[in-house]
């Protein structure tokens, strides 16, 4: 019973985090009326996690009914894909602020990460349907549970591979941009035009968002690795496994969601630069990108 009480307390903590993130996401979107395409998938991830942990928390004995076990498994397995989907929505705009010339590929090509993420999500749904379709009150899982678990693991693997590709591309952007800024105080294109040093400085909140993007990728990659390995043993969990699940799934996903909710692009990616008056007489990383119009990506 103490173990179950602890599990319920952890579930309540996660619910608080996801509810807070959902409210923050909704408030940012309604007040600033921007980045709806980011808010929708992140809000869906929050809703999935809230219901998933809500059901787990409501189980006093710790033994979920067969149907509730199916619901919780589906919700908590699929939610992280919506987190990464929300993040990918912001990358093209992020690269425009940093300097798209630092990217190995055209910023518009990052849309394929979204399609790859959706493909991984679809594979996970197929695997979950296969594994849980024959669930009953006596056997809990259907006869195809093991095969379904493998399919889900493939879907999670595709999700992880997409994250890894993005991380590699984004790391190159950050390294090249940092090198250029330190050397010239401007973007590469400005150096070529002979106007190096004329750019504006990044805001602290935009720099914070860059850190959050890296944190989100690391958290989701570790979570995917844990879940993919765990699925080789099926969906069933033990008491000892609950603690690992809370740490390597719940905590990591909660951290990623909370970070994206706090650094919502509606206020972080409006411009990305400090006003010129704040930079006068101060050092800092310079940028020369002056957007011709504020892109809201509604």
pLDDT at 255: 96
pLDDT higher than 80, residue 13: yes
Q: Is 63 helix (H, G, I), strand (E, B) or coil?
A: coil
Look at residue 169 in the predicted model and tell me its pLDDT.
Answer: 95
Mean per-residue pLDDT for 27-41?
91
Worst-scoring range by mean pLDDT, 14-18, 43-47, 286-290? 286-290
Q: What is the per-residue pLDDT across 196-248, written as a single tens digit (0 to 9) for each?
A: 444 456 788 888 999 999 999 999 999 999 999 988 777 764 444 778 888 89
Question: Residue 273 has what DSSP assignment?
Answer: B
What pLDDT is stored for residue 262 in this prediction? 95
SS3 250: helix
Per-residue pLDDT, 5: 66
Q: pLDDT per residue over 244-269, tens digit each?
A: 888 899 999 999 999 999 999 998 88
Mean confidence (pLDDT) of the chain: 81
Distance separating alpha carbons of residues 256 and 92, to the nearest angstrom: 20
pLDDT of residue 238: 42
Q: Where are the domains of the chain?
A: 2-287
pLDDT of residue 125: 95
Side-chain-side CA neighbours of residue 113 (13 Å): 29
- Decide: helix, strand or coil at residue 133: coil
- For domain 2-287, give its CATH number from 1.10.10.10, 1.20.1070.10, 1.10.260.40, 1.10.3720.10: 1.20.1070.10
- Is the Cβ–Cβ distance between 79 and 45 less than 8 Å? yes
pTM summary value: 0.83
Residues 6+ apart with CB under 8 A from 232: 149, 150, 153
Retrieve residue 142's tokens: 């259907």
Q: Which residue in 51, 77, 106 sits closest to 226, CA to CA? A: 77
Q: Name the residue among 285, 297, 298, 294 with its Cα closest to residue 99.
A: 285
- Residue 139: exposure state from Cβ atoms within 10 A (0-12, 13-18, ≥19): exposed
298, 119 in Cβ contact below 8 A? no
* Number of Cβ atoms within 10 Å of the Cβ of 140: 17
Task: List the single range of 91-95, 135-139, 153-157, 223-227 with lowest mean pLDDT.
Answer: 135-139
Q: What is the predicted pLDDT for the residue at 183?
A: 73
Q: How far is CA 262 from CA 34, 61, 247, in A?
A: 15, 35, 21
pLDDT reported for residue 144: 76
- The pLDDT assigned to 60 comes to 52
> 202 forms bridges with which residues in the sheet?
273
Q: What is the CB neighbour count within 10 angstroms for residue 92?
A: 18
CA dist 10 and 228 (Å) reads 23
As a whole number of angstroms, the distance between CA 172 and CA 168 comes to 6
The pLDDT of residue 107: 87
Listed in sequence order, the residues at least 6 apart from 207 whose beta carbon sits closer than 8 Å to its beta carbon are none
Residue 135 — pLDDT band, cuts 50, 70, 90? Answer: confident
Sequence-ordered list of residues with C-beta below 8 angstroms from that of 206, at least 6 positions apart, any chain: 97, 268, 269, 272, 273
What 3-state class would DSSP assign to 100? helix
């Amino acid at each position: 019973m103490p173990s179950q009480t602890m599990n319920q307390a952890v579930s309540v903590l996660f619910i608080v985090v996801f509810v807070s993130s959902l409210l923050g996401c909704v408030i940012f979107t309604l007040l600033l009326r921007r980045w709806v395409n980011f808010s929708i998938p992140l809000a869906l991830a929050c809703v999935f996690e809230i219901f998933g942990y809500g059901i787990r928390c409501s189980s006093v004995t710790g033994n979920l009914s067969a149907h509730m076990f199916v619901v919780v498994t589906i919700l908590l397995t699929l939610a992280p894909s919506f987190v990464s989907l929300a993040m990918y929505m912001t990358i093209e705009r992020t690269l425009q602020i940093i300097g798209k010339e630092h990217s190995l590929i055209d910023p518009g090509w990052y849309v394929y990460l979204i399609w790859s993420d959706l493909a991984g999500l679809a594979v996970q749904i197929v695997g979950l349907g296969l594994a849980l379709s024959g669930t009953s009150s006596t056997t809990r899982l259907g006869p195809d549970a093991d095969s379904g678990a493998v399919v889900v693991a493939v879907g999670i693997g595709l999700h992880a591979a997409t994250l890894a590709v993005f991380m590699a591309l984004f790391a190159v952007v950050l390294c090249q941009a940092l090198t250029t800024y330190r050397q010239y105080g401007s973007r590469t294109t400005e150096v070529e035009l002979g106007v190096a040093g004329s750019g504006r400085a990044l805001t602290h909140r935009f720099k914070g968002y860059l850190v959050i993007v890296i944190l989100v990728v690391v958290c989701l990659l570790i979570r995917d690795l844990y879940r993919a390995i765990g699925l080789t043993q099926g969906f069933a969990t033990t008491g000892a496994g609950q603690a690992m699940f809370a740490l390597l799934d719940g905590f990591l996903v909660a951290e990623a969601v909370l970070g994206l909710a706090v650094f919502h692009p509606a206020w972080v990616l409006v411009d990305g630069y400090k006003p010129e008056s704040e930079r006068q007489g101060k050092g800092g990383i310079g940028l020369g990108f002056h957007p011709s119009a504020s892109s809201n990506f509604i």
